[in-house]
Amino acid sequence: MKFKRKHLAVLVGMAVAGAAYAATYYIKLDPPVVVSTQDPANNAFKAKMGWISYKSDPAQAQYDVKAQVLVYADGPAGAQNIWIARSTDNGATWAQQKITTNGGNPLTIGASNFIVTNNKPNIYVAPIGVVSSGKGADALVTWTSSDCGGLPTQKINTNLNTGPQPYMCLWAARSTDGGVTWIAQRLTDGSLDPDEDVPAGYMKSDLTAGGFAISYQADPAGLQQGDAEGPGDGASGAKVSAGTNIWYTYLSKANFELGNAFPAPVQVSDNNDTTIGAAGASRANLAISGGTVVLAYEETKGDGSSGKQVVYHSFLYTTPQTNNPGTVISNTFNNARRVRFLLQGNDAIADADLDGDAADGDTKGVHVALLWRESTSTVPAAAADIVFRRGIKDTTLRPGSTGFLATDVTADAPVNLSDTGAADNALAHRGVLRGEFVAVAYDQTPDKAAADAYTGTYNLFIKRSTDGGTTWGAAKNMSNLPNASTRVVEPRLVGTPGTIKLPDGTATADLSDVQNRNVVFVAWGTETNEAVAKPLDIYQTRSTDQGVTYEQVQLLASGVTEQSEAQLRSPPDGKTLGALWMEFNAANGEEDVMYLNGVETVAPDVPVTPPPATTTSSGDGGGGCAIGSSEAPFDPVLPMLAGLGLIGFGLRYFRRN
């Protein structure tokens, strides 16, 4: 058969197809920069991040400032201060300031002498604002400090392995000018020991209303030493005394910007019995959607056992429930802990009539997606599975339903997402909720006994649903560690924030302000798989089709230094990534906050080409840090070269004939 022109056309088409495939995109990462450069101790700790777009003056037609605001502790161990770092050039440069100066000051309680320190800050940053007379671009930071203002109510904690320590006090600092200046306020008096503080807020898109809230746990007997159930620092708030409660305070946007003080916190939970074995609450999470608060936490059952259950509250942020038992949403016969959740309002669900109601059939109506670990055993560090449960708005089945009510949650049956057998264990769950799309990430081992003996390991898995969590696809192994010498830790799963609009409801001039709900960012850390683990590298990838496929995995952070605790943020379009992490240099003992920016670009420059993908089982798959799916993209340069070769072959054949 002669080689016809149509055959040449086919070859050219194949080559064009290969070239088109080569034009797929990925996030090209810039070189990292050191953020925490000002404290001579170089001992940074627990960085967190928020982003805001705001007008620096009402006369501005657009949001002319886009700021990234970081908070972290730094200073000598046991004498740290709270620092703010702020960038308005996508993280290329950072201005830093201390918002506390008391770290290292002497502290006397009775006849005991201590040193003031400030611990584990957290941050909430409103997504938009308009600054007028220095107010209107809002951020809230919380932390605990041994500085209680010299109050005689401050006690001494004798529970910890490190020896006697002062009860802490909870502090908050606010900024109303986009993180440039800060004003601090002490919220507690040292008579209870606070921990696990969470700042939260919401802002209407037209800026006519908004609010801020803070929750925390407070132990009457002082912070307890942990039971080594997880990979945390110990004494991190999971183990509590009887009578430990969850507390709450709030301010409206108007009062926040006026500088009015947060009111005295109120006790939400009802653990009033301090008898040994009575109930105690811990590790609350807090979020606000359109003025509605969701607050959930783990609580010991109060029956003398070490078992816990997950308790749920929902209320308007200005009218908190007080001395209230809440609603238990986990299996009361099991041991449930570490609850996390995702919220979305009617606009985010984006159904046809924007009412977010499943009653009319145009949406599943999922406003709350809850995740927690649950086990049949109360033994510390027992194997557990990841459980998923929803809050669904359905005004036909439940008149008055909002999707956030406790009755909206208890009407939905919980689902075990991770169970693969009696020997497995799952932890470190994260999630994304965007309309009907839900994704859940978790670390899992198929054999906990082997993992505990360091002959087995943990990989990162992701499950996804496109019908609001009614049905789920198979778990996808994202990390595929080749052997048990390393394990996955600290997974991150981050979606894009909602579309940013001007206060009058019109679109901004910045195309990156338009949300792409299909984009999901994933990152995970690795560490040596041994009793005293050493942090290693951090990996990152992105999906632009709601987790059907993922871009090639990249090293986000690596080297001889130890990398850990990544945080990811993105503008609404998902074409830019901002990432921070902690970097420890064992040679000199210094630890810094690192940051890099990444921007979408054409894919042939991908710096890390993963090995071939493996199947999506929950086993200890081989193959290195590859995408665990046959759908994963491969190196697009190869089909392009093959296509060009076919063209060359075709031209030679055509000329001969």
Residue 235 reports pLDDT greater than 80: no
Q: CA–CA separation, 579 vs 253, rounded Å?
A: 29
Residue 641 reports pLDDT greater than 70: no
Question: What pLDDT, on the 0 to 100 scale, is given for residue 230?
Answer: 53
487 within 8 A of 494, measured Cβ to Cβ? no
149 within 8 A of 161, measured Cβ to Cβ? no
Residue 454 reports pLDDT greater than 60: yes
SS3 category, 37: coil
Q: CA–CA separation, 265 vs 199, rounded Å?
A: 13
- Sign of the Cα torsion 238, 240, 245, 248 reads negative
Confidence band, pLDDT 50/70/90 cuts, at residue 2: very low
Both tokens of 487, joined, read: 């394990």
Question: What pLDDT, on the 0 to 100 scale, is given for residue 379?
Answer: 87
Confidence band, pLDDT 50/70/90 cuts, at residue 437: very high
Closest residue by Cα to residue 602 from 642, 640, 654: 640
Mean pLDDT of 577-593: 97
DSSP 46: E
The dihedrals phi and psi of 256, each to the nearest 5 degrees, come to -60, -45
Q: Which residues on neighbouring strands pair with residue 218, listed in sequence order?
A: 194, 245
For the chain, give the percent of residues with pLDDT over 90.
84
Question: What pLDDT, on the 0 to 100 scale, is given for residue 629?
Answer: 31
Q: CA–CA separation, 316 vs 337, rounded Å?
A: 25
Using one digit for the tens of pLDDT, what is the confidence trace for 104-134? 999 999 999 999 999 999 999 999 999 999 9
Using one digit for the tens of pLDDT, what is the confidence trace for 301-349? 998 777 999 999 999 999 999 999 999 999 999 999 999 999 999 999 9
Confidence band, pLDDT 50/70/90 cuts, at residue 234: low
* Pick from 8-12, 366-370, 387-391, 451-455: least confident: 8-12
177 within 8 A of 135, measured Cβ to Cβ? yes
Q: CA–CA separation, 284 vs 294, rounded Å?
A: 10
SS3 category, 371: strand
The dihedrals phi and psi of 64, each to the nearest 5 degrees, come to -90, -5
- Sign of the Cα torsion 252, 253, 255, 260 reads positive
Residue 621 reports pLDDT greater than 90: no
Residue 638 reports pLDDT greater than 70: no
Confidence band, pLDDT 50/70/90 cuts, at residue 14: very low
Q: At what angle do helices 5-22 and 637-656 cross, to 10 degrees?
A: 160
Question: What pLDDT, on the 0 to 100 scale, is given for residue 380?
Answer: 81
Q: CA–CA separation, 372 vs 202, rounded Å?
A: 24
User: What single string gives the DSSP state of each residue in 319-361?
Assistant: S---S---EE-S-TTSEEEEEEEEE--HHHH--TTSS--GGGS
Question: What pLDDT, on the 0 to 100 scale, is given for residue 303?
Answer: 82
Question: What pLDDT, on the 0 to 100 scale, is given for residue 174?
Answer: 98
Q: Which helix (H) or strand (E) holds 648?
A: helix 637-656
Closest residue by Cα to residue 103 from 82, 84, 120, 117: 117
Confidence band, pLDDT 50/70/90 cuts, at residue 229: low
Angle in degrees, CA 358, 362, 368, rounded to 5: 45
Using one digit for the tens of pLDDT, what is the confidence trace for 246-272? 999 999 999 999 999 999 999 999 999
Residue 625 reports pLDDT greater than 90: no
- Sign of the Cα torsion 639, 640, 642, 646 reads positive
- Sign of the Cα torsion 252, 254, 256, 258 reads negative
Question: What pLDDT, on the 0 to 100 scale, is given for residue 147?
Answer: 98
Residue 227 reports pLDDT greater than 60: yes
Amino acid at 265: P
Report CA-CA distances (Å) from 384 to 421, 425, 444, 500, 532.
Answer: 11, 5, 10, 39, 22
Question: What pLDDT, on the 0 to 100 scale, is given for residue 616?
Answer: 32
Question: What pLDDT, on the 0 to 100 scale, is given for residue 304?
Answer: 73
Is the model more confident about 634 or about 365? 365
Average pLDDT, the chain: 89
SS3 category, 125: strand
For the chain, give the percent of residues with pLDDT over 70.
87
Tabulate helix, strand, coil % of the chain (nearest 5): 10, 40, 50
> What are the residues whose beta carbons fall under 8 Å from the beta carbon of 630, sequence distance 6 or more?
613, 615
Confidence band, pLDDT 50/70/90 cuts, at residue 237: confident
Question: What pLDDT, on the 0 to 100 scale, is given for residue 311?
Answer: 98
